[in-house]
Structure 1
Amino acid sequence: MALSAATAARWVERWECQQQRYAVDREERFTVIADVVEYVTAGRTSPLIVDLGCGPGSLVARLAGRLPDAELLAVDADPLLLELGRTHYAHAARYVEAVIGAPGWLDRLALDRPLDAAVSTTALHYLGEPALRRVYGQLAARLRPGGVLINGDHLHQGTPRLSDIAAAVGRRRAERLRAYRHEDWDSWWAAVACDPELTALLAARRRCSLPAGEDCHPTLTEHTALLRAAGFQHVGPVWQFGNSHVLVAVR
């Protein structure tokens, strides 16, 4: 049975709310990423942009609104989240199921030209250092000269003490914005499991090999070094609040 538009809309709305618990100033971070993409693709006809770890399409939908002439690809390993995005934001992007960093994952995108931009939010932290090194190199090879990789994520500072302070700053900001009034990740998924319209998608999710988070969390400095080693010429954060960053790497 096809997922109904009403069900997809309901669960995407709940997703948007629960994600505010985890991303400090989430909407502003999306806006900054869109600002960067718009700036670096100005004057280009039908820029090609891929969203890595798109979930139910939160970022790609915002990019589609800002860049209506862009060709957008949305990539995720989770069939349930992908179907929510494919149904709710049907015209925003072409949705592709793939595990980022797995053998042949880029081939599944069927790219017919170099990328203008690769973006990601709160997804690449699942990759450890070896996988990040590999993925950064693969993306550098697929981006055009001057193309960008933009990663909005929680990136630790250079020392544990600074990371702790930055995390505390982020928590206080979230408290002021009342972000913790929203349901959390576990509650959202528990509620999903009770919706009969999502039963088949949840079963498909349980059968697939979703990436597990690794214990290694590279710092901002380490991410920067990996990106430079991959061939990016200019690397640095353009926005930060607490440990939440928008890190830009120019090919």
Structure 2
Amino acid sequence: MTPYALDARAWQESWDRQQEAYLPDREHRFAALLDAAEAATDARPLQLLDLAGGTGSISLRALARHPDAQVTVLDLDPVLLTIAEASLSGRATVVTADLNRADWPEALPHRAYDAVLTATALHWLDGPRLAELYREIRDVLRPGGVLVNADHMPDDALPTLTTRLSDRARQRRAARHQAGAALSWEGWWAQAAADPVLAPLVDKRQQIYPTGHSPEWTPPAGWHLDALRAAGFTEAGVLWRNGSDAAVAALR
């Protein structure tokens, strides 16, 4: 009997649709991240670190633009990394490391990246650790390299409007879930737990994150800019915004 093989394309598609229910502008934010990476790279092949990269969503889009890019995907989640490795098919280096540990750069195959991109992931870390991580990211960038972090970053100058926008987004998401147009976060993981290949990895993931792994700490963009400047970046600003989400960029 042929062993069950992971259908990487199907799982990648399923992940994208699940994420888009939470982030309808997901492709726009990815485009903003990749545009910034290209601007920092000059003419040579892009050397990119997809930080907390999950299934490799950013990496796949980077390689579609630049097939010669040298891409590293770093994450800790064994389920998402398995999908990333299968989807990328040897076109990127996939590494496992814990961003809560200061030694995570030791897992990297390179020491001087043109760009470090991350999206909707670093809210897993608390404030003191994220501030330290920004310093560590600076150290793995070449001079002139760029970090872009897209995440939930409310505008502290628009608290009332931001709350209303977030409420509307939740209502739209609930309608999509109720209509069956997309899986919820919980529904996606339930499907993964029923998959013959992914089920053992879901069990492993639960051991890594026994109580869940996200404090859901989402400070305003201003906090991130202050932390980036304190980490030694020469420039830091808001690159992109939509509602309560933003992308901050910083140059080494």
Mark yes or no: TM-score above 0.5.
yes
- Indicate how the Cα distance of structure 1 residues 70 and 94 shifts in structure 2: closer, same or farther if over 3 A, else same: same
- Which residue matches 1:125? 123
Provide the secondary structure at the position in 2 that maps to 1:228: helix
- Which residue matches 1:155? 153
User: Deviation at 1:233?
Assistant: 1.4
- Which residue matches 2:193? 193
1:64 aligns with 2:63: yes
Name the CA distance, whole Å, in 1 between partners of 2:45 and 2:3. 31
Provide the secondary structure at the position in 2 that maps to 1:61: helix
Could you tell me which of 128, 131, 135 is aligned with 2:133? 135
User: Deviation at 1:162?
Assistant: 4.5
1:115 aligns with 2:113: yes
Query: Where do residues 97-108 of structure 1 align in structure 2 (5 Å cutoff)?
Result: 97-108=96-107
Name the CA distance, whole Å, in 2 between partners of 1:39 and 1:103. 29
User: Deviation at 1:171?
Assistant: 5.3
User: Deviation at 1:114?
Assistant: 1.3
Amino acid in the other structure paired with 2:38: E
Name the CA distance, whole Å, in 2 between partners of 1:230 and 1:64. 29
Amino acid in the other structure paired with 2:126: G
User: Deviation at 1:192?
Assistant: 1.2
State the TM-score, normalizing by the size of structure 1: 0.88
**Between Structure 1 and Structure 2, how many residues are aligned?**
245
Amino acid in the other structure paired with 2:243: G
- Which residue matches 1:237? 238
Amino acid in the other structure paired with 1:152: A
Note if contact 1:60-1:72 (Cα within 8 Å) is conserved in structure 2. yes
- Indicate how the Cα distance of structure 1 residues 249 and 3 shifts in structure 2: closer, same or farther if over 3 A, else same: farther
Note if contact 2:18-2:185 (Cα within 8 Å) is conserved in structure 1. yes
Query: Identity across aligned pairs (percent)?
Result: 33
Name the CA distance, whole Å, in 2 between partners of 1:203 and 1:31. 34
- Which residue matches 1:95? 94
Name the CA distance, whole Å, in 2 between partners of 1:238 and 1:166. 20
- Indicate how the Cα distance of structure 1 residues 26 and 2 shifts in structure 2: closer, same or farther if over 3 A, else same: farther
User: Deviation at 1:222?
Assistant: 0.4
Alignment RMSD (CA, Å): 2.3
Query: Where do residues 29-68 of structure 1 align in structure 2 (5 Å cutoff)?
Result: 29-43=29-43, 45-68=44-67
Note if contact 1:128-1:217 (Cα within 8 Å) is conserved in structure 2. no
- Indicate how the Cα distance of structure 1 residues 2 and 198 shifts in structure 2: closer, same or farther if over 3 A, else same: farther
Q: Deviations over 1:189-210 (max 9, x none)?
A: 0111112232222222223358
After TM superposition, the runs of 4+ consecutive aligned structure 1 residues lying more than 4 A away are 168-172
Amino acid in the other structure paired with 1:239: W
Provide the secondary structure at the position in 1 that maps to 2:68: coil
- Which residue matches 1:228? 229
Note if contact 1:168-1:242 (Cα within 8 Å) is conserved in structure 2. no
Name the CA distance, whole Å, in 2 between partners of 1:138 and 1:233. 15
- Which residue matches 1:85? 84
Q: Deviations over 1:43-66 (max 9, x none)?
A: 1x3332101111111111101111
Q: Deviations over 1:134-164 (max 9, x none)?
A: 1000111221221100111111221543531
Provide the secondary structure at the position in 1 that maps to 2:21: coil
Provide the secondary structure at the position in 2 that maps to 1:92: coil
State the TM-score, normalizing by the size of structure 2: 0.88
Name the CA distance, whole Å, in 1 between partners of 2:41 and 2:55. 24
Name the CA distance, whole Å, in 2 between partners of 1:169 and 1:224. 27
Name the CA distance, whole Å, in 2 between partners of 1:61 and 1:142. 21
Note if contact 2:126-2:215 (Cα within 8 Å) is conserved in structure 1. yes
